């Protein structure tokens, strides 16, 4: 029977512990795998990895300078958070399990490593196993770390890098002390590659790492000062390490494009940035939100207890084990994490964060992101303090470890998970668009409606509209909607209210029909735009803005020559444009079997202004008129011939006169009764026939008297369906 050495058993046990704890922390994600996602930003990171794979299979696309988002702007992605460190892992498992499961595996892995890496560092620093286990748990379950897990921030959850780099640096120091050139080069290469991986996790991690690596690097140089050969070797190895990392970032990373970044970033006031000052000893009710970061009581109280013990406990206060270096290393990130301003009574004090904000050109926008450095430093400090105090007291150690675990679990509400969001609906038509590959299909643009864009600094429009970037994974086309971590405001700010077409499609400005017509025609053929996709659920099925969009897309003669409602699926309506290579007119505007079923999903191909939202009443789908004085329908007739038009309708509250106009020609009026649905027939005379393009505009006019103000809307007649029957068929039936 094979037995593992005690040290190996300890590490296997620690890994099992952190894996089990990761399951507890992430159980909501695991149990909802494939159906729900963590946090608002998930779409961006999934799109990142799809795009990295896409450009690896496609020539002529630059990962750091392209127009796939915020089209037509050619945007520098030098400061975009690709989180590319995890891409190879995703590329390996995504084909087997899908992207949603692959991301949950990545989050689970990082969560486990956060605890285990700190455990390894604590053991190397001489901390007792039980205390080392608790230190790793404190980082793994830290409220801010859980915030990153539950927001799919795979770029910022990777705190295992910091303990790992301290361990690698100690190996470098040992190699230089031994004078072994091969070992020095080896560890320099390993740490250089690891620094590259750290930087490719997120641009901010070099800043995070500097708070630990710089002090320990300087300490190593100071300790080597009396041995010049060792000092020289150490400096040379450190320079080689950094050179390897910089070279990799330059030739295989974002560094050249970061230096070439030009443009104005969205303004931000460092004084108002949120920090942990309000939750040093508590958990916010909404710890999963960016503006309510929490330290929780456990880490703060443990650090205070360790400080008191270090100052007053006889057994440890005079020991020289480097604990105070760790304590002082933890103070600067703690002060920065407090936020932009610290309020003491009526006094407002600036914090060191403002300096960091200025040094990074305003790009470092969240001071509380430094809080895990405080956790790491205080875990080592506390471990070094309490290890000698508890030495030889096994039962006390067990009690302390168990008590600390329970105290931490209670303080951070370990059992609590953040709310999850359902995955956006999977629409089959996006896959059909994605199947259109090669020239000229690859040049088509997809315009999602409503429009919305975002960076790490600002969101313009409905935040949900930005998430429509998710569908780029499927349709594989350029788009306007989406997210780039840092982008010049010149590339996207116009979309807010400065662009008649895109601002109107985002419901931020009123419709300027002539100007929008001109813009759409120019852009359909100039960009070219291949598809407009209208998301009714994001605009609001009861919104007048939705009817206005359909009216514009369906009625305007210029627009119906350019747009065709090709697919209606779920809440989405996808219009193909005349710029599409497969454009051959629009048979979809001809009612199937001559019937328009009002209230059914497909009626959006034909409706215009004046209709209220679709409803299901007593088992039938229908729409009320009355949103305006008249209600319109737009359709195409398959033949130029006379028709009979039949409506299934019912009046609201009282008998109402209903008049029908066909291409502006008045037809006979009827009196619609309020008691029940009934059929009302109109004859379409030759003079009302469509022009040569076959399009017919029907307008329903009705009186709107006798309204009930309590309903909150004005109602005319309820229409269940409209049917067109060729007069020849009617004559034959008679």
pLDDT in tens, 29-62: 999 999 999 999 999 999 999 999 999 999 999 9
Residue 550 CA to residue 563 CA, distance in Å, equals 11
Taking the C-alpha atoms of residue 360 and residue 368, their distance in angstroms, rounded to an integer, is 15
- The pLDDT of 158-169, averaged and rounded, is 98
pLDDT digits (tens, 9 = 90+) for 515-564: 999 999 999 999 999 999 999 999 998 889 999 999 999 986 778 889 99
The pLDDT assigned to 691 comes to 63
* Paired strand residues for 201: none
**Quick check: 623 pLDDT over 50?**
yes
Q: How far apart are CA 299 and CA 374, in angstroms?
A: 9
Residue 732 has pLDDT above 50, yes or no: no
279-304 tens-digit pLDDT = 999 999 999 999 999 999 999 999 99
Span 144-158, average pLDDT: 97
Instruction: Give the strand pairing for 665-672 and 656-662.
Output: antiparallel
CATH superfamily placement of domain 591-734: Galactose-binding domain-like (2.60.120.260)
Q: What percent of the chain is modeled with pLDDT above 70?
A: 98
Whether omega for the bond prior to residue 72 falls within 30 degrees of 0, making it cis, is: yes
Higher pLDDT, 632 or 695: 632
418-421 contacts, C-beta under 8 A, 24 or more apart: 418/28, 418/38, 418/39, 418/146, 418/147, 418/150, 418/151, 418/287, 418/288, 419/288, 420/28, 420/29, 420/32, 420/36, 420/37, 420/38, 421/36, 421/37, 421/39, 421/40, 421/42
Q: Which long-range contacts (CB under 8 A, 24 or more apart) does 587-594 make?
A: 587/636, 588/564, 589/554, 589/560, 589/564, 589/565, 589/634, 589/635, 589/636, 589/695, 590/635, 590/636, 590/637, 590/638, 591/635, 591/722, 591/724, 594/643, 594/723, 594/724, 594/725
Query: Which tens digit of pLDDT belongs to each residue from 330-376?
Result: 999 999 999 999 888 888 888 999 999 998 888 898 999 999 999 99
The residue-averaged pLDDT of 129-144 equals 97
In the chain, where are the structural domains located? 58-77+424-589, 160-255, 591-734
Average pLDDT, the chain: 93
- Cis peptide bond N-terminal to 177, omega within 30: no
For residue 500, give the DSSP letter.
H
pLDDT at 729: 53
pTM of the full structure: 0.94
Cα separation, 503 vs 598, whole angstroms? 29
Give the 3-state secondary structure of residue 531: strand
> Could you give the CA distance from residue 147 to residue 182 in angstroms, rounded to a whole number?
42
What is the rounded distance in angstroms from the CA atom of residue 531 to the CA atom of residue 723?
Answer: 30
**Structure-model confidence comparison of residues 365 and 66, the more confident one:** 66
Q: Percent of the chain at pLDDT above 90?
A: 84
Beta strand 482-483 with 453-454 is parallel
Backbone angles phi and psi of 456, in degrees to 5: -70, -5
Q: Which of 456, 452, 492 is nearest to 469 (CA)?
A: 452
């Amino acid at each position: 029977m094979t037995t593992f050495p005690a040290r190996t058993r300890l590490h296997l046990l620690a890994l099992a512990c952190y894996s089990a704890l990761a399951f507890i922390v992430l159980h909501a994600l695991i149990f909802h795998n494939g159906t729900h996602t963590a946090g608002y930003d998930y779409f961006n990171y999934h799109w990142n990895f799809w795009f990295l794979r896409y450009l690896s299979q496609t020539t002529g696309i630059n990962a750091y300078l392209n127009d796939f988002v915020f089209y037509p702007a050619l945007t520098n992605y030098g400061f975009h958070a690709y989180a590319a460190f995890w891409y190879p892992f995703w590329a390996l498992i995504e084909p087997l399990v899908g992207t949603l499961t692959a991301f949950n595996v990545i989050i689970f892995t990082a969560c486990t490593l956060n605890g285990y890496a700190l455990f390894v560092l604590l053991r190397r620093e001489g901390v007792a196993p039980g205390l080392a286990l608790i230190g790793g748990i404190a980082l793994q379950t830290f409220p801010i770390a859980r915030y990153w897990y539950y927001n799919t921030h795979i770029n910022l959850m990777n705190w295992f890098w910091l303990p790992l780099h301290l361990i690698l640096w100690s190996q470098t120091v040992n190699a230089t002390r031994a004078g072994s050139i091969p070992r020095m080069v080896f560890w320099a290469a390993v740490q250089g590659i690891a620094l590259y991986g750290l930087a490719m996790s997120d641009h901010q991690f070099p800043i995070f790492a500097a708070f630990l690596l710089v002090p320990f690097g300087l300490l190593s140089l100071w300790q080597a000062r009396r041995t010049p050969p060792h000092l020289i070797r150490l400096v040379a190895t450190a320079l080689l390490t950094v050179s390897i990392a910089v070279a990799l970032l330059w030739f295989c990373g974002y560094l050249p494009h970061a230096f070439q970044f030009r443009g104005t970033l969205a303004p931000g006031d460092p004084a108002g940035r949120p920090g942990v000052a309000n939750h040093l000893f508590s958990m916010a009710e909404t710890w999963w939100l960016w503006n309510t970061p929490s330290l929780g009581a456990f880490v703060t109280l443990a650090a205070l207890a360790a400080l008191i013990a270090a100052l007053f406990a006889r057994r440890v206060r005079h020991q020289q084990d480097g604990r105070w270096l760790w304590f002082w290393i933890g103070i600067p990130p703690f002060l920065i994490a407090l936020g932009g301003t610290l309020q003491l009574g009526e006094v407002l004090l600036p914090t060191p964060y403002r300096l960091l904000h200025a040094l990074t050109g305003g790009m470092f926008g969240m001071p509380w992101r430094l809080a895990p450095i405080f956790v790491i430093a205080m875990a080592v400090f506390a471990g070094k303090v309490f290890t000698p105090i508890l030495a030889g007291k096994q039962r006390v150690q067990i009690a302390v470890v168990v008590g600390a675990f329970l105290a931490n679990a209670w303080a951070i509400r370990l059992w609590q998970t953040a709310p999850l969001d359902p995955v956006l609906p999977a629409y089959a038509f996006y896959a059909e668009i994605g199947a259109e590959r090669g020239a000229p299909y690859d040049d088509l643009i997809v315009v999602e409606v409503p429009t919305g864009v975002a960076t790490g600094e600002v969101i313009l429009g409905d935040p949900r509209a930005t998430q429509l970037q998710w569908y780029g994974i499927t349709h594989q086309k350029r788009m306007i909607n989406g997210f780039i971590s840092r982008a010049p405001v010149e590339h996207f700010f116009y979309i807010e209210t400065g662009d008649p077409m895109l601002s109107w499609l985002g419901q931020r400005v009123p419709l300027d029909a002539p100007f929008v017509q001109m813009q759409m025609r120019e852009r359909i053929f100039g960009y070219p735009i291949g598809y407009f996709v209208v998301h009714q659920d994001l605009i609001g099925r009861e919104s007048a803005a939705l009817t206005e969009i359909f009216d514009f897309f369906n009625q305007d003669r210029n627009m119906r020559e350019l747009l065709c409602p090709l697919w209606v699926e779920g809440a989405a309506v996808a219009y193909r444009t005349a710029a599409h290579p497969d454009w051959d007119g629009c048979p979809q505007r001809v009612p199937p079997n001559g019937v328009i079923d009002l209230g059914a999903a497909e009626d959006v191909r034909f409706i215009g202004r004046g209709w209220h939202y679709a409803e299901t009443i007593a088992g039938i789908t229908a729409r009320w008129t009355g949103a305006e004085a008249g209600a319109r329908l737009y359709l195409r007739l398959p033949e130029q011939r006379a028709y009979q038009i039949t409506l299934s309708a019912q009046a609201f509250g009282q008998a109402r006169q209903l008049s029908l106009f066909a291409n502006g020609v008045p037809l006979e009026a009827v009196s619609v009764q309020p008691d029940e649905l009934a059929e009302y027939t109109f004859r379409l005379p030759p003079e009302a026939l469509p022009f040569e393009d076959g399009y017919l505009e029907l307008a329903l006019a009705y009186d709107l008297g006798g309204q009930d103000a309590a309903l909150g809307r004005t109602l005319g007649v309820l229409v269940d369906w409209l049917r067109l029957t060729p007069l020849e068929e009617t004559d034959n039936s008679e």
